[in-house]
Amino acid sequence: MKLPAFDYLAPSTVPEAVDALADPGRRAEVLAGGQSLLLDMRLGRAGPGLLVDVNGVGGLDQVRVRDGALEVGALARHRVFESPAAAPGPLGRLLALTVVHIAHPPIRARGTVVGSLAWAHPASEWCAVALALDAAIELRGAAGARTVAAGDYFHGAHATARVPGELITAVRLPLLGPATGVAFVEHRRTEFCFAQVAVAAALTVRDGVIAEARIGLANCADRPLRAHAAERSLAGAEAGPPVAGRRPPPEHPFARAGRIAAERDARPVPEPYADPEYRRHVIAVLVGRALCQASADLAAHTGHDRPGGDRP
Amino acid sequence: MRITLTVNGRDHALDVEPRRVLADVLREDCRLTGTHLGCEQGVCGACTVLVDGEAVRSCLLLAVQCDGRAIRTVEGLAGPDGTPHPLQRAFSAEHALQCGFCTPGFLMLAAGALESDPAIAADPERVRALVGSNLCRCTGYEPIHRAILRAASE
């Protein structure tokens, strides 16, 4: 279907964009990458009266480290993160492992990380990563600027704490310390499908013991999730040697965490090709696999990362 | 809205509605029908063109967003005297097309990748991931993969 008619504004500053979005009578939407918004408009799922194109707003494409976090501006395209050098240390590796699961190169050249957070699809890879990392979402509206923690941001499928008229100016992803291993694994039916299940994992190990586990789940509920119960089951566990093969033995803490994520954290909804029972099985397998890979990633990088997580 | 698109080196001064996507404007206003529209939802990749050297889906980009940008379509691949581009020769040599509907998109996808990062040809896995961007439903991906590698080595 061709796009319905709308008004179009291309402001050049954030205040101008916020002013344009503040018009209550016009159902304004922000156009950044447009790779989901224009699709939704074609399918009749979105029908804004006004598109505020922020692609000409200076400075929004910045990606920089500030106060212990990677600040990703609203116009930073997915593609930027294909290089692990886009962020220091394990965070750069995690983002690079994640981004290859997002659509394909021409979409990644236009689509944005912040746009994924704004769209808030339950299967979104970036949303799962944002939750796992305790990201902070920076919003600007007519009433001023505010920051929302990722944990308070997702309210359901395509439902977030962002109110009409607000622009997400950036997302802040806290850096990961050097003793952290990362992984991102995804299962989907074909190369063109959304994730049936995807798992982001970061394991921090001190003195052979798991000091902190972070697990984000995509498409395991009506919204992206953090696997808090599975994370708690890992804290204090012996990290042990990297697991040979792709699946940990059933009594291994990683396998147990997978089962806990599937039974206690996930709330899978029925979908074509994947009923909840099947999805719980996949979640258990993928969480276990992601933790094995995070552990292997840590082993592969220990001794190479300089203390303090300097830029590689 | 009045915009100027520089398509294959030639300026097109146009008056377009904001709701029109680049693919439609290229086909209907610029009369460059080499860019094909398949799914019109970003999946098939038949409409892939280069905007400022970068391969993008022209069905998911508004024409007004491309005001002042340099656009390259499949019509801009061959030389001024009509000599086929190395990719076009390689697609022919490797039988990388049958019905040809997806071909303009694959050619522009490959042209964008080889021009921005020639090192991709040294890594067949990256080329595999690249051709996974677009849909071909008759030839199959192997000949397309071979053609891209052949063009890169010329």
Answer yes or no: is pLDDT of A304 > 60.
no
Q: How far is B125 from chain A (nearest CA, A)?
A: 13
In this complex, is the C-beta atom of B62 within 8 Å of any C-beta atom belonging to chain A?
A: yes
The domain defined by B86-153 folds into DNA polymerase; domain 1 (1.10.150)
Which chain B residue has the Cα nearest residue A3?
B19
Answer yes or no: is pLDDT of B115 > 90.
yes
User: Cα B89 to the chain's mean position, in Å?
Assistant: 16
Class of residue B113 by CB neighbours under 10 A (exposed 0-12, middle 13-18, buried 19+): buried
Q: Percent of chain B, pLDDT > 70?
A: 100
Interatomic CA distance for residues A176 and A94, integer angstroms: 10
State the pLDDT at residue A16.
Answer: 97
Q: Which CATH superfamily is domain A180-301 in?
A: CO dehydrogenase flavoprotein, C-terminal domain (3.30.390.50)
B129–A8 CB contact, under 8 Å: no
Compute the mean pLDDT over every residue in chain B, rounded to the nearest whole number: 96
Answer yes or no: is pLDDT of B31 > 90.
yes
State the pLDDT at residue A303.
Answer: 56
**What residues of A are in the B interface, CB distance below 8 Å?**
1-8, 10, 31, 34-35, 38-39, 42-43, 51, 53, 55, 100, 103-107, 109-110, 191-192
**A7-53 placed in CATH 1.10.1040.10:** no
ipTM above 0.85, yes or no: yes
Q: For chain B, which residues make up each domain, given as ranges?
A: 2-76, 86-153
Answer yes or no: is pLDDT of B49 > 60.
yes
Which of A42, A55, A110 lies at the smallest CB-CB distance from B56? A110
B55–A105 CB contact, under 8 Å: yes
B41–A191 CB contact, under 8 Å: no
Read off the pLDDT band of A1 (50, 70, 90).
confident
Interatomic CA distance for residues A9 and A33, integer angstroms: 15
* pLDDT tens-digit series, residues A97-136: 999 999 999 999 999 999 999 999 999 999 999 999 999 9
**B2-76 placed in CATH 3.10.20.30:** yes
Q: For chain A, which residues make up each domain, given as ranges?
A: 7-53, 63-174, 180-301
B41–A192 CB contact, under 8 Å: no
A8–B42 CB contact, under 8 Å: no
- Residue B65: which of A113, A37, A221 has the closest Cα? A37
In this complex, is the C-beta atom of B116 within 8 Å of any C-beta atom belonging to chain A?
A: no
Which of B21, B65, B113 lies at the smallest CB-CB distance from A3? B21
State the pLDDT at residue A108.
Answer: 97
CATH number of the structural domain A63-174: 3.30.465.10
What are the φ/ψ torsions at residue A70 (nearest 5 degrees)? Answer: -90, 120
* pLDDT tens-digit series, residues A28-71: 999 999 999 999 999 999 999 999 999 999 999 999 999 999 99
Q: Do domains B2-76 and B86-153 have the same CATH topology?
A: no
* pLDDT tens-digit series, residues A227-277: 999 999 999 999 888 888 778 999 999 999 999 999 999 999 998 889 999
